[in-house]
Amino acid sequence: MGSPADAIPDHAPQRTPELAPDLSALAARLRRVRRHSEELIAPLEPEDLGLQGMADASPPKWHLGHTSWFFETFLLEPRLRGWEPADRRWGYLFNSYYDAVGARHPRPQRGLLSRPTIAEVLAWRRRVDAGLEALLAELEGWEVPQAAAVLALLELGLQHEQQHQELLLMDLLDGFSRNPLEPAYAKGAAAPEAAYETAWSGASAADLSTTPETGGWLELDGGLMEIGHGGDGSFHFDNEAPRHRQWLEPFAIATQLVSNRNYAAFIADDGYRRPEFWMSEGWAVVQSRGWQAPRYWRGAEWEFTLAGRRPRHPEAPVRHLSWFEADAYARWGGARLPSEAEWEQAAARLPGAFGLLWQWTASPYRPYPGFRTAAGAVGEYNGKFMSSQFVLRGSCFLTPAGHARLTYRNFFPPSSRWLAGGLRLAR
Amino acid sequence: MGSPADAIPDHAPQRTPELAPDLSALAARLRRVRRHSEELIAPLEPEDLGLQGMADASPPKWHLGHTSWFFETFLLEPRLRGWEPADRRWGYLFNSYYDAVGARHPRPQRGLLSRPTIAEVLAWRRRVDAGLEALLAELEGWEVPQAAAVLALLELGLQHEQQHQELLLMDLLDGFSRNPLEPAYAKGAAAPEAAYETAWSGASAADLSTTPETGGWLELDGGLMEIGHGGDGSFHFDNEAPRHRQWLEPFAIATQLVSNRNYAAFIADDGYRRPEFWMSEGWAVVQSRGWQAPRYWRGAEWEFTLAGRRPRHPEAPVRHLSWFEADAYARWGGARLPSEAEWEQAAARLPGAFGLLWQWTASPYRPYPGFRTAAGAVGEYNGKFMSSQFVLRGSCFLTPAGHARLTYRNFFPPSSRWLAGGLRLAR
Amino acid sequence: MGSPADAIPDHAPQRTPELAPDLSALAARLRRVRRHSEELIAPLEPEDLGLQGMADASPPKWHLGHTSWFFETFLLEPRLRGWEPADRRWGYLFNSYYDAVGARHPRPQRGLLSRPTIAEVLAWRRRVDAGLEALLAELEGWEVPQAAAVLALLELGLQHEQQHQELLLMDLLDGFSRNPLEPAYAKGAAAPEAAYETAWSGASAADLSTTPETGGWLELDGGLMEIGHGGDGSFHFDNEAPRHRQWLEPFAIATQLVSNRNYAAFIADDGYRRPEFWMSEGWAVVQSRGWQAPRYWRGAEWEFTLAGRRPRHPEAPVRHLSWFEADAYARWGGARLPSEAEWEQAAARLPGAFGLLWQWTASPYRPYPGFRTAAGAVGEYNGKFMSSQFVLRGSCFLTPAGHARLTYRNFFPPSSRWLAGGLRLAR
Amino acid sequence: MGSPADAIPDHAPQRTPELAPDLSALAARLRRVRRHSEELIAPLEPEDLGLQGMADASPPKWHLGHTSWFFETFLLEPRLRGWEPADRRWGYLFNSYYDAVGARHPRPQRGLLSRPTIAEVLAWRRRVDAGLEALLAELEGWEVPQAAAVLALLELGLQHEQQHQELLLMDLLDGFSRNPLEPAYAKGAAAPEAAYETAWSGASAADLSTTPETGGWLELDGGLMEIGHGGDGSFHFDNEAPRHRQWLEPFAIATQLVSNRNYAAFIADDGYRRPEFWMSEGWAVVQSRGWQAPRYWRGAEWEFTLAGRRPRHPEAPVRHLSWFEADAYARWGGARLPSEAEWEQAAARLPGAFGLLWQWTASPYRPYPGFRTAAGAVGEYNGKFMSSQFVLRGSCFLTPAGHARLTYRNFFPPSSRWLAGGLRLAR
């Protein structure tokens, strides 16, 4: 991840497709991203590759197959002459949720796909990589619009694969957490936890104006602001656009994420037993699932991580809690969650905005005014999830380098806890 | 209901509590509202009083008890010296969702309460009415702040009872709809349907600029607007405040509600079988519940109503559909739902804004900036439902006279269909 | 009920159909049985008539309608010239489970049928009664086989109605038990509890050979026995025939039913927390439903009854427990449940065999060797339930006079507790 | 499997424990059985080892671990001095259902145990094997009762492991069947299907008295029979004893199993759409699960097997159907299922009694008169499942050699289809 200071994306101009980009640099980036997915499974045992802890998660092998399917389905099949897709049935197995592309294997049963084997999936990745390189090699002679369309889809596929790299690790953590043996994905410097610890140490040090009790607050004037991605040609998902105006009242936002110590005080004050802090829907979830602490807390002093069971550092940001818990904590603390517009206005001046934990906002995930989905099946990427979910902003310690962005809108249902989410307060 | 022109509430200054209002007028209003609840069950058979069609609905008898419980619990017990509450267990039976007041009977089992009998519930209502009158009579001599608090709670109780009058009829329609005999609540002029038909005829006539195909559009400039209730002393729920600024881009809003004829075209175009129009969450609901039309459509030409099975008028506004259906219809139509701010800006110029059907908006139900809940258990009234629901605006043909308001925010989960909801388009 | 000595049915020859029975006596019995159903609802409030506490139970009004439907469907419609059935849709509403007769209203939704009203149902009963009398009046001139078929169906309808009289009260107890107000069906001498108490006092007194600790045991030789109904022309259900041979080893059977005091000792010995006493399937039910005592026990000393909450008499037979509980208790006690053959061999010498509580046996409900179902839809009466249920023998304090029989096979799933069941041990 | 003629077990006197058996022969048998479990996973890919298709099934790796756990828990820990059990948590993971031994991992989540790895499980098997050999070597010097107890548990462990060998393959078939790629466990001579085909060809040839339409019937006199295991010292499970008398009426039993062709006629005659053939409980299952054919039929001519998708031979015995389907088929055919006593009387003269398919009987799984469970946790082996299940008799093509027995009582719930079950008729 690097230090928090580095983590604020600078939007350096990734060359835009229409300007005849440096294709060999793109090919290199493609190779790097694709290879990284495979590096992620290096520490795993063969049995881990099919592990699906719950319906919302997917096995590592499935992530590797699905990202190849994405390139094959949206790029190679329609654009590369002579491309022979994999076994037709694989399309059924590795489609995630694209209704326009046809039927698909039920999500909760991805863990039942002991076949194709990892060897077959990796071989397929090889073929897809070769296909993508062949397509890139062909592009020189194409008309600009056609070439630009290919490059846009290629970029989308890369970004998509990076999203799945992060998801693969979150899903794995969920799966491992259900095993009483508490397996570790990796230990020591190799574990993602190392990056996490480095990052929050840095974030704390960079705090603008702390007090012992509450951390610092950044006060911002309101007014008519602009948020969203401005369409400068750099990559963004459709849901980040268009850039548009929004009126903000003056607000304050915490410079630090809520820590384990902070959150433990909420629990000690019977936070999970006092309905007055909770949304009615969240209170029902607390009751029915018996929540008493964040998802991976274990006893008074431990938490479960990708490095196995480890001591819980009191000053580290609390993580793996739901929107309901974040919202209840904020109410208990006499504060609230920031809106995504507030977050976006403040982020450049906030330590830990990127690279630590996704941060729940008060904003339901809905389209920006003037939002348009992409044409075709790719249009299902984001737009169809715009009900009953909340936006998270920033990025987390599992987010691949270069994937974070100021205007990035992540989103999950309010009861989700397996994603690497935390919170900061506003008022 | 009156004509649509009448239906726009004028916010005539109901005297504010702190100004020593005309207490005898208030007492008269109180009697009128309380009596109206009982008039609503006059057409019912004894067996209907316990009918609960589903967990979300409540039996008529329960509504009558619960509204008394509200007055007793929040007003008489704490404020009227010597008040003896009903059987203590009734508090358990008739609490709807107030956690601060204690445990409560499970909502899905309200239909199992064959006791207390309607006679006992009506006798309780008599006692509560007498208690309220006694409390009003006492107020003259009180300090202003205490008296004002009582008057505010009394007003809240009245408004609360009016909400339940509307709910009682919606719930009853749901219950009757599950009986193959298709019972009618009332027929002819006595049926709420009569008011409904009068209202939409009037609304159509008053249309600003119709075209045969699409109805008319009202174009509005955007800019920095104010929405919400301004705190002029007139009654409003906490969720309508504070009045605050919001930036709106220019928009157009349909002058008419979507009609049965419009909606039938969506169905004929395979609207319920094409996932591209639907939120992912809504599409799952369509599949799992087998939705193929609005909730009460029966065959090609009929619908089920409080007057029994009746022909479905093609030009009447389509009703009893979920937010998911409203949203899908709008997308199919190349339009969208209005935000609640847009609706509020336009409402005064919109025929059918009030008195026909609640209108789904694009806005998730969330607190306004600066929102504060009331202190104590009454604070649970609105605030704790601000996740995973959508706002509806206006009022419907079942809304009691005088209960509608420009800033009123109604809210339901996006899959709800039993409420009297419809939609109008924006773009 | 009378005393236990009276309760052993004597199989006095009800005249068989083929011998030109005394039709006026039959008509009188018919009137008596039909009237008794209506007497059963006399103590109820109108709201109680639609009360359905769970999917397995039915509202009182439904029982009254269904028994009329049975006569109308199987007797009047096919046999009485010119008979005009009730509203065709009523057949849909009041069919219990006869697939051959057509579709039916879903069982869990019987409580949603606020219409037809009780007045309509009672008027229907009047019409059906009149139809049955008309049919009886016609019979004199018929051919013997046709007349005999009518008389057999009439007898079946009567027996069917008596079964529902007992069920109506069991179902009502279930429904009332879910109301925190603990309503009483009837108090004092009018309550079925009075008969219950008289009966078990008598049964205790008549005990053959008691010891303070365990009660007495009746020792019986085994050998080749005959069980089942012998077809002497007296009424019996199809599942009681044919009479057939069965080999029994010598056995002992308890002369008394297990008492509340006995059962409390099982609980005190952690009976509900020790899996070694339980069938695996039963243990899962104990866990998932949180069973800790029989269904209607309330605290240490009370139980809920049709007379409301009452002190639990330690010597009274324990009641309203499932087969799983009966079986676990027997295992804890170093004994077992009797098979139905053993019970039938011993019943004539057992106090309390009839008129107190149905007694769970060790026998799964399966057909006797040579079992034949009746032709037509009536054949669905018993035969299709012969999987995953257990047989109970005897009769209970709610069983109508004259309905008990030595060979009667009652049956319920092993987790059922709302029926008036108890147990006696064997070894 | 050998030919059907060979398949009837001859009860050759396995030397009884108390007679100082040939310990080296036992050690050799132990090695053979243990090794066979591991041979079964040889054709599998690593990913298959964790495959659990449904809650009722277990992954191959779990079967390998559980059978070791059984030996370790019941034999090595209590009896072998100095034995160090595996990681204590493994006891939690690999306990199947023994409540007396402590808590256990939830059955539906066995597929989530990607760890311990297969390498660790196999290493554990090595250690357990060594421990068992060490224990056997020690036995010479022990007192006879102690040694006999060890030998009895060793025999139980062996039989237990053989049961799991059969289950492993049935469970695997279930898991593979959920993969659209239709993987094959093994093809050609190596596949269990080869043994199956050999066996039914032989069985058909040996048929006693066939007719083209119905196959042959074996007529048997009834009378007072003995069934159950006689306790001659040969191994048997507790549920097969004691041998006891039972009265049978004369009966006929089919010499052949019902074939695919027979069963297809039932389907063609709308067997799955006519409730009159079904138990009420079974009919509900047919509706809710949408059954239209046996579990692994695929289209008109194929079935899914451990050799992958293969043509369905019309004369082969129909397999993988539930008791409900077997019972409905029999009723459609004007016949019934045999009782387990009838089956046991006839088996020696029935082709295909062993080695083809387990055969559903009409008998609920209940204890024989005088049944006693073993002392201690091993007593949970069979006795606690004696409700709501039905007995199957014989053995199937997946049953390990030497594991079949005339008195063997297999049992499954009536809706189970994944076991290799078929049926033969009786009347």
Distance from CA of B62 to the nearest CA of A (A): 21
Q: Tokens representing A157? A: 């596929």
> How distant is the Cα of A113 from the closest Cα of chain B, in angstroms?
23
Name the token pair of A424: 């900061």
Could you tell me how many CB contacts below 8 A there are between chain A and chain B?
78
The model's confidence at residue D363, banded by pLDDT at 50, 70 and 90, is: very high
Chains D and A touch (3+ CB pairs under 8 A): yes
Is pLDDT above 50 for A366? yes
What confidence tier does A207 reach under pLDDT thresholds 50, 70, 90? low
Residue D182, min C-alpha distance to chain A (Å): 9
Q: What is the pLDDT of residue D205?
A: 59
| DSSP notation for D183-198 | --S--GGGSHHHHHHH
**What is each CA distance from A192 to A197, B40, D160, in whole angstroms?**
9, 64, 44
Which sign, positive or negative, has the C-alpha torsion B186, B187, B188, B192? positive
Cβ-based contacts of A180 with chain D (< 8 Å): 89, 92-93, 105
Least confident range of B98-102, C2-6, D368-372: C2-6
Q: Which residues are CB-neighbours of C83 under 8 A, at least 6 positions away?
A: C72, C76, C77, C131
Report pLDDT digits (tens) over C56-94.
999 999 999 999 999 999 999 999 999 999 888 999 999
Q: Is ipTM beyond 0.85?
A: yes
- The mean pLDDT value of chain D amounts to 91
Rounded (5°) CA angle D239-D245-D247: 120
Write out the residues of chain D at the interface with chain C, using a CB-CB cutoff of 8 A: 97, 99-100, 224, 244-247, 249, 275-276, 278-283, 323-324, 327, 362-364, 366, 369-370, 379-380, 384-388, 390, 414
**Structure confidence at residue B214 (pLDDT):** 52
pLDDT tens across B349-376, in order? 999 999 999 999 999 999 999 999 888 8
CA distance A41 to chain B (A): 30
Residue with tokens 């008549």: C206
Q: Is the pLDDT of residue A2 over 50?
A: no
All residues of chain C having their beta carbon less than 8 Å from the beta carbon of residue D224 are: 224, 247
CA distance D416 to D406: 23
Q: Is the pLDDT of residue D398 over 70?
A: yes
Q: Using alpha carbons only, how large is chain C's radius of gyration in Å?
A: 22
Amino acid at site A130:
A
> Do B327 and A384 make contact, defined as CB atoms within 8 angstroms?
no
Per residue in A281-327, pLDDT tens?
999 999 999 999 999 999 999 999 999 999 999 999 999 999 999 99
Q: How far apart are CA C418 and CA D405, in angstroms?
A: 42
Q: pLDDT value at position B21?
A: 56
pLDDT at D353 over 50: yes
**Which pLDDT does position A205 carry in this prediction?**
58
The whole-number average pLDDT for the span B62-80 is: 97
- For the ranges A167-176, B231-240, D268-277, the lowest mean pLDDT is seen at B231-240
Nearest-CA neighbor of A162 among A354, A49, A34? Answer: A34
Tally of CB atoms within 10 A around A266: 22
**C-alpha closest to that of D373 among D246, D245, D241, D226:** D241
The pLDDT, as a whole number, for residue C337 is: 98
The CA-atom distances, in angstroms, between D163 and each of B358, D121, D410 are: 64, 19, 10
Residue D135, CA distances (Å) to B136, D75, D83, D151, D370 in order: 90, 9, 10, 10, 34
Would you call A247 and B249 a contact, using CB atoms and an 8 Å cutoff? no
Percentage of residues in chain A with pLDDT exceeding 90? 84
Instruction: Give the nearest partner residue to C364 out of D279, D280, D366, using CB atoms.
Output: D366
Amino acid at C236: H
Q: What percent of chain B has pLDDT over 90?
A: 84
Per-residue pLDDT, B329: 98
Residue A269's CB is within 10 A of a number of other CB atoms, namely 12
Position D290: which residue type? G
Both structure tokens of C152: 């057999």
Distance of CA C134 to the CA centre of its chain: 30
Residue B246's beta-bridge partner residues?
A: B225
Residue C280 has pLDDT above 60, yes or no: yes
Per-residue confidence band for A202, with pLDDT thresholds at 50, 70 and 90:
confident
Listed residue (B340, B359, B379, B92) closest to A280, CA to CA:
B379
The whole-number pLDDT of residue B357 equals 98
Record the tokens describing residue A417, joined without a space.
């806890």
Residue D213 has pLDDT above 80, yes or no: no
d(CA D409, CA D20): 29
Determine the straight-line distance between the first and last CA of chain B, rounded to whole angstroms.
29
A93 to chain D: which residues are within 8 Å by CB? Answer: 180-181
Structure tokens at C288: 């998932």
Q: Do D115 and A61 touch (CB under 8 A)?
A: no
A37 — pLDDT class (breaks 50, 70, 90)? very high
Residue B118, amino acid? I
Q: pLDDT tens digits, residue range D36-68? A: 999 999 999 999 999 999 999 999 999 999 999
Distance CA A323, CA A334 (A): 17
**Closest residue in B to A376 (Cα–Cα):** B276
Q: Check CB contact under 8 Å for C247 and D247.
A: yes
Q: Between the CA of residue B334 and those of A243, B316, B424, what are the distances in Å?
A: 21, 21, 13
CB contact under 8 A, D386 and C244: no
Contacting subunits of D (3+ beta carbon pairs below 8 A) = A, C
Decide if pLDDT at B18 tops 60.
no
pLDDT at D207: 55
- Neighbouring residues of D357: CB distance < 8 A, sequence distance ≥ 6: D257, D317, D319, D394, D396, D397, D420, D421, D422
Q: How far apart are CA B124 and CA A233, in angstroms?
A: 70
The type of residue at C222 is G
Report residue C399 as tokens. 């069983």
**Cα torsion at C319, C325, C330, C331 (round to 10°)?**
-170
Determine B/A contact with 3+ CB pairs under 8 A as the test.
yes
**pLDDT, chain B, mean:** 91
Q: Is D114–A61 a contact, with Cβ atoms under 8 angstroms apart?
A: no
Q: Are strands D217-220 and C421-422 parallel, antiparallel or unpaired?
A: unpaired
Task: In whole angstroms, give the CA distance from residue A180 to residue D351.
Answer: 49
Contact A397, A416 (CB under 8 A): no
Contacts of C117 in chain B (CB under 8 A): 45-47
- Please say if the pLDDT value at position A131 is more than 70: yes
Of the CA atoms within 13 Å of residue C357, those in its CB half-sphere come to: 26
- CA-CA distances (angstroms) from residue A183 to A54, A310, C9? 17, 12, 69
Dihedral (Cα; B16, B18, B21, B23), 10-degree rounding: 120
HSE-up of residue D234 (Cα within 13 Å, Cβ side): 18
C-beta separation of A427 from A251 below 8 A: yes
Q: With CB atoms and an 8 Å threshold, state whether A224 touches B244.
A: no
- pLDDT tens by residue, C291-343: 999 999 999 999 999 999 999 999 999 999 999 999 999 999 999 999 999 99
The verdict on a CB contact (< 8 Å) between D276 and C366 is: no
Would the pLDDT of B233 be above 90? no
Residues of D in contact with C275 (CB under 8 A): 99-100, 384
3-state secondary structure of C338: coil
Chain A positions touching B414 (Cβ under 8 A) are 387-388
- pLDDT at position A373 is 85
What are the C-alpha distances in Å from B330 to residues B76, B210, B254, B333, B409?
48, 18, 11, 5, 21
Q: Which residues contact A263 (CB under 8 A, 6 or more apart)?
A: A294, A318, A321, A329
Rounded CA-CA distance B179/B207 in Å is: 38
Do residues D353 and D5 touch, judged by C-beta distance below 8 A?
A: no
**Beta bridge partners of residue C412, listed in sequence order:** C390
Are residues B283 and A387, on separate chains, in Cβ contact within 8 Å?
A: no
Chain D residues inside the 8 Å CB shell of A113: 179, 181
> Is C258 within 8 Å of C204 (Cβ atoms)?
no
What mean pLDDT value characterizes chain A?
Answer: 91
Q: Quickly list H helices, A310-410.
A: 323-332, 340-346
**Average pLDDT, stretch D260-276?**
97
Chain A residues with CB inside 8 Å of D183's CB?
Answer: 114-115
Host H or E run for residue D248: strand D244-248
Residue C152, pLDDT > 70, answer yes
Which residue in the set B100, B246, B280 is minimally distant from A97, CB to CB? B280
Which 3 state secondary structure label does DSSP give C21? Answer: coil
Amino acid at D252: A
Query: What integer pLDDT is reported at residue C206 of this predicted model?
Result: 53
B356 and B203 Cβ atoms separated by less than 8 Å? yes
* Residue C61 near residue C69 (C-beta atoms within 8 A): no
pLDDT digits 0-9 by tens, B384-405: 999 999 999 999 999 999 999 9
